[in-house]
Amino acid sequence: MDAGEKVEAKRFSVRDFVTEGRERLHLEVVVDAGMDAVVGEPMTYRPGLALTGFFEDFAWKRLQVIGKAERAYLMSLEPSVRNDRIQALFANGAYCIIFACGMDVPPGVAEIVRAAGGSVLRTDLLTRNFIHLATFVMERLTAPTMKLYATTVEVAGMGVMMRGAPGLGKSETALGLIKHGNALVADDFTCLRKDVASNMLYASASAATSEYMEIRGIGIIHVPSVFGVTAVRGEKQLDFVITFRRMEEVNGELDRVGEDVRMASFLGVEVPEIVIPVSAGRDLVNLVETAAQQQKLRAAGHDAAGNLDARLKARAMQ
């Protein structure tokens, strides 16, 4: 792992779940006493048997989802019995219950959960739809992530991350790329998220620095204000890595033909990489744009070096 890279172990709270999924899951907070509780297992559970008083193998670490059947059963109970069952749910470890289908919370339940230090959420989604979508939200919250010092730009539709020592011109190159119609993803500090299902990486800026750049001699600029809203992207699949190195550090190591295949590895995912030497007078904006276009062609099966080699061999045989 390179210097400046940081891998984070992913845990999330009920509050994180609500923040991430509020819009997608149509979440409403009814009781917020336990919003900082950590979700022990990133799954949902329908506590039908637990509501009857049977707690053997009760999955208390999960978010408890109350569907129409569970609520109908609760409403069939005497109020005092219903209250006892809810209290028992939280006494056995539950920390959050979610009422689906837009159902009202039964009388007295909110007060009991608040006293127990738990949370009550509500959604208008059907139970099965909520459980399905909640799985994706929790997968995102628990996805492996890392942060590293690098600048990421969308170039020719590709997510291109530029990394290298400070002072080599990453931000200035990104600024030139933006002026050419490309879009900023993250300046100087890139957050990577691994999508486990697809084994792909996605790059984004940190929440604090999103849409901003620091340019030496100019200062902080807000990219959408200067170049328009199309000049930024919230998150982009990482397709290509360009590492800047000083010319004197790579002399003798350069692949002048382009046949060498280099890969950079992040979170167990390999991404194509090239090294671009930096020296006075080199047009890094042009080089990065060309490298991105070249990688796009290579990914589509076009091999410029191989085609040229075949042409030269054919001419030599004539």
* Residue 293 C-alpha from the chain's centroid: 25
pLDDT tens for 238-270 read 999 999 999 888 776 666 555 677 899 999 999
Q: How far is CA 165 from CA 91, 171, 237, 238, 289, in A?
A: 54, 12, 23, 20, 20
DSSP secondary structure code for residue 142 in this structure:
H
Q: Is residue 3 one of the residues assigned to a domain?
A: no
pLDDT tens for 10-66 read 789 999 999 999 999 999 999 999 999 999 999 999 999 999 999 999 999 999 999
CB 203, CB 160: distance < 8 Å: no
- Residues 86 and 181 placed together within one structural domain of the fold: no
- Residues 187 and 299 placed together within one structural domain of the fold: yes
Q: Is residue 119 one of the residues assigned to a domain?
A: yes
- Residues 185 and 296 placed together within one structural domain of the fold: yes
- Residues 67 and 210 placed together within one structural domain of the fold: no
Q: What is the CATH number of the domain that holds 263?
A: 3.40.50.300
- Residues 241 and 218 placed together within one structural domain of the fold: yes
Range of the domain at 182: 145-311
Q: Is residue 7 one of the residues assigned to a domain?
A: no
Q: Is residue 258 one of the residues assigned to a domain?
A: yes
pLDDT tens for 52-82 read 999 999 999 999 999 999 999 999 999 999 9
Q: Is residue 1 one of the residues assigned to a domain?
A: no
Q: Is residue 241 one of the residues assigned to a domain?
A: yes
Geometric angle at alpha carbon 17, from 84 and 234, rounded to 5°: 170
- Residues 167 and 291 placed together within one structural domain of the fold: yes
Query: In this predicted structure, what is the pLDDT of residue 1?
Result: 46
- Residues 181 and 247 placed together within one structural domain of the fold: yes
- Residues 166 and 38 placed together within one structural domain of the fold: no
Average pLDDT over every residue of 194-208: 91
- Residues 130 and 167 placed together within one structural domain of the fold: no
DSSP secondary structure code for residue 87 in this structure:
H
Query: In this predicted structure, what is the pLDDT of residue 8?
Result: 53
CB 102, CB 40: distance < 8 Å: no
Q: Is residue 6 one of the residues assigned to a domain?
A: no
To the nearest 5 percent, what fractions of the chain are helix, strand and coil?
Answer: 35, 30, 35
Domain total for the chain?
2
Geometric angle at alpha carbon 230, from 172 and 269, rounded to 5°: 70
Instruction: Report the helix count and the strand count for the chain, using DSSP H and E.
Output: 11, 17
Cα–Cα distance between 257 and 253 in angstroms, integer?
12
Final residue before a domain boundary, out of 107, 142, 177: 142
- Residues 207 and 269 placed together within one structural domain of the fold: yes
Q: What is the mean pLDDT of the chain?
A: 90
Final residue before a domain boundary, out of 78, 113, 142: 142
Final residue before a domain boundary, out of 142, 174, 197: 142
Query: In this predicted structure, what is the pLDDT of residue 3?
Result: 43
pTM of the entire predicted model: 0.71
- Residues 119 and 176 placed together within one structural domain of the fold: no
More reliable by pLDDT, 119 or 300: 119
- Residues 191 and 155 placed together within one structural domain of the fold: yes
